[in-house]
Structure 1
Amino acid sequence: MPQKLTKTFIDSIPYPENGQAFYRDSEIKGFGLRVGATSKVYIAESKVNGKTVRVSIGKHGIYTAEQARNQARELLLLMSKGINPNDQVREQKTRSMTLQHVFQDFLVARKALKPRTIYDYKRIMGTYLEDWNDKAIADITKDMIAKRHAELGQNSQAQSNLTMRFLRALFNFAAGQYEDSKGQALIQDNPVKRLSQTRAWYRVERRQTVIKPHELKPWFQAVMNLKNDIKSQNRETIRDYLLLVLFTGLRREEAASMTWDNVDLHAKTLKVTDTKNHLDHTLPLSDFLHDFLQQRKTNAVNDYVFQRSNGQGHITEQRKQMAKVIKESGVTFTIHDLRRTFMTIAESLDISAYAVKRLANHKMNNDITAGYIIADVERLRDPMQKITDYILKCASYKPTATVTDLPRKKSRNSTKSVIDV
């Protein structure tokens, strides 16, 4: 039965052992008190668009009964107009949500992001958007976007575009993630669209750099000259890693994180399971690849094909040794250049377009004919060997027949390979 909520009456109400108890005010319909195991909270309750809406006002002791009653009048008036006060609170909270907070929610929601992608996103947040991390996302305007895009473009147009694409993704995520009780997005506008409306995106040509045929010999020799010494016990591992990428066209992380579980030396295949397009990728091993992987296997110290010299995890940094190769050979390259070189060579050898795509693990969703072709790894063995033979010919490299019989010294800190000839 409703009763006027006063301090004396509320103080006399016992805390329930289980659940909650509700007490209604006799003076104002919709004003009440919710009593839990440890707290007494004033509430306002009414119907908004046919649905019951309950709004917490505050705890008894912090609010007096009269203060809570006055607050309830204002809330009930809003509800009578079809306004849900909870939506207003939620909207205000969202509009004050910082860019960093949205980014953290984004990472939680995007469970399939690869470590490298997360690393790149964090780098953007900490480098190009650092001064915006604590700024409310709703306060980031179109003018701010345009200005920051232009500023970043003075140093790197590609990084400027990349930063804004990432920021666009965060705004799109926020628009879908945060909504009111009616399902309406609380972030209605994506300010990054200003760049499209004004055609301000930089025109960045896609990199087309490859190692040319006449450059393969000096590059190959410089890679082969990477030898372990007291200063570095990772050189030969990085040497073999660079060669694997060139001879398979694998992506940077796919090769670096490869485990022995996915290398079948008997079937002469390797498999990559955590690929960019989320499709398992199995490749045949050419004779050259099989021989040097077999040698690495005899000196393996953990589950990774390219383990770190301390035996913990796989290699993650190759730039120092790459710089040595570039200096010695005069051939400038990136890891992805090796992948492009592999595919360029494949195309130059008149290998079928379907085989090239299979070797590169590119999706063929829009190609109807491709759907009828069985992706049999054995059908790729001959193309794979042709590519290997071409590279070795350009490099003037001739493996010796007795190489696998050479004495070798097993060491935790050194991985000798069959290519040490």
Structure 2
Amino acid sequence: MPTVSEALLAYATAKKVKASSLRRYQSVLRTHFGDWLERPVSELKGPAFAEHCHLFAQKNGAAIVELGRGLVGSLLRYLHAVHGVEIPNPFIKLGAAGLLPLRALPRARKLKEADLLVWSAAVDKLPELHRDYLRLVLFTGLRKNECGSILREHVDLHGSVLLIPDTKGGKPHTLPITESMKEILVRRCVACQSGTRLFERLSVDHVAEMALRAGAPAFTLHDLRKLVATVGAKLGLSDAVLRRILGHAPKRADVLHRHYVSLDVEAIAEPMELIQRTLTSHLGQGTPQVS
């Protein structure tokens, strides 16, 4: 039998888990299940592991418990499928007995459209690299790491297409390069060499904090992504269009949008421009023009 650590690596390889996600999973196991990492997986059958899971659920918040229980459940299902080892999942019994914390609620959005004028004034005080990053996230709705990992060769200025190869869903994502985005992307491409990231010297985990210190209202980078979705919904854009812009996959049961509806880059160019014009008007840089 493999050890728990070896099983995680084998599972990650079989499922083609991204390197960043694997590092996160390994960190969770080291922090909360460290004593079990180098033990054979067969030892997870015993009452000691069940008790450990119970204590883990009692001592930690809902979000980390959800991640831990999901990771343990996935590993146990993998071991059963590949090695034929059936190990009861302690979290199933704990849940049935009401011994797990309630599921974590989505974090409320702090930044509103009305806050963007003050937000923009604070962002303008930052170095150019940081300003460009924050505004590109606002205009595209990209996740922080998706935007931070863009390479120079991912920017096709001639074809007006931005490629994001490494996404949360594991599939490449493309966006049209609008006029609002082009100014930023041209500036960043000129400032970096081929094979390097557009935002090479920027820490995506600290850029929001820099803006806060410069006077921005409370916000997270994910708030900017939520603003794109909110503005798009207010403008009456369809769920399919918003999912395509944000890189969200339809639900498994949604056969129509999973297997039939396919929107290319050209199909979302005009909706993205409309969202960006609306956001720009809140930044105090123009008035939205409805087509």
Task: State TM-score, norm by structure 1.
Answer: 0.61
Supply the AA of the counterpart residue of 2:86.
I
Match of 1:109, SS state, is: helix
- Distance across 2 between alignment mates of 1:138 and 1:373: 45
Does 2:50 correspond to 1:162?
Answer: no
Match of 1:375, SS state, is: coil
- Distance across 2 between alignment mates of 1:126 and 1:169: 17
Task: For residue 136 of structure 1, report the CA deviation from its aligned partner.
Answer: 4.2
- Distance across 2 between alignment mates of 1:374 and 1:186: 41
Supply the AA of the counterpart residue of 2:118.
P
Q: Partner residue of 1:388?
A: 276
Q: Partner residue of 2:136?
A: 244
Task: For residue 158 of structure 1, report the CA deviation from its aligned partner.
Answer: 0.9
Q: Partner residue of 1:345?
A: 231
Task: State TM-score, norm by structure 2.
Answer: 0.85
Supply the AA of the counterpart residue of 2:176.
P
Of the three residues 331, 335, 345, the one matched with 2:217 is: 331
Match of 2:163, SS state, is: strand
Does 2:77 correspond to 1:172?
Answer: yes
Task: For residue 352 of structure 1, report the CA deviation from its aligned partner.
Answer: 2.0
Structure number with higher helix proportion: 2
Match of 1:192, SS state, is: helix
Mark the CA change 1:196 to 1:318 in structure 2 (over 3 Å): closer, same or farther.
same
Q: Partner residue of 2:289?
A: none
Q: Partner residue of 2:59?
A: 151
Taking the TM superposition and a 5 Å limit, the aligned residue runs for 1:398-417 are none
Q: Which has the higher contact order (CA 8 A, sep 6+)?
A: 2
Unaligned runs of 5+ in 1: 1-93, 179-184, 228-235, 310-314, 399-421
Pairwise CA RMSD of aligned residues? 2.3
Match of 1:270, SS state, is: strand
- Distance across 2 between alignment mates of 1:366 and 1:176: 24
Mark the CA change 1:220 to 1:119 in structure 2 (over 3 Å): closer, same or farther.
farther
Mark the CA change 1:224 to 1:163 in structure 2 (over 3 Å): closer, same or farther.
same
Task: For residue 102 of structure 1, report the CA deviation from its aligned partner.
Answer: 2.5
Supply the AA of the counterpart residue of 1:218.
V
Unaligned runs of 5+ in 2: 287-291
Q: Partner residue of 1:99?
A: 4
Supply the AA of the counterpart residue of 1:297.
C
- Distance across 1 between alignment mates of 2:175 and 2:28: 34
Task: For residue 288 of structure 1, report the CA deviation from its aligned partner.
Answer: 1.3
Count of equivalent residues = 279
Q: Partner residue of 2:21?
A: 117
- Distance across 1 between alignment mates of 2:67 and 2:41: 19
Match of 1:125, SS state, is: helix
State whether residues 145 and 204 of structure 2, in contact with CA within 8 Å, keep that contact through their aligned partners in structure 1.
no
1:9-59 deviation line (CA, Å, top 9, x unaligned): xxxxxxxxxxxxxxxxxxxxxxxxxxxxxxxxxxxxxxxxxxxxxxxxxxx
Mark the CA change 1:173 to 1:368 in structure 2 (over 3 Å): closer, same or farther.
closer
Q: Which has the larger radius of gyration?
A: 1
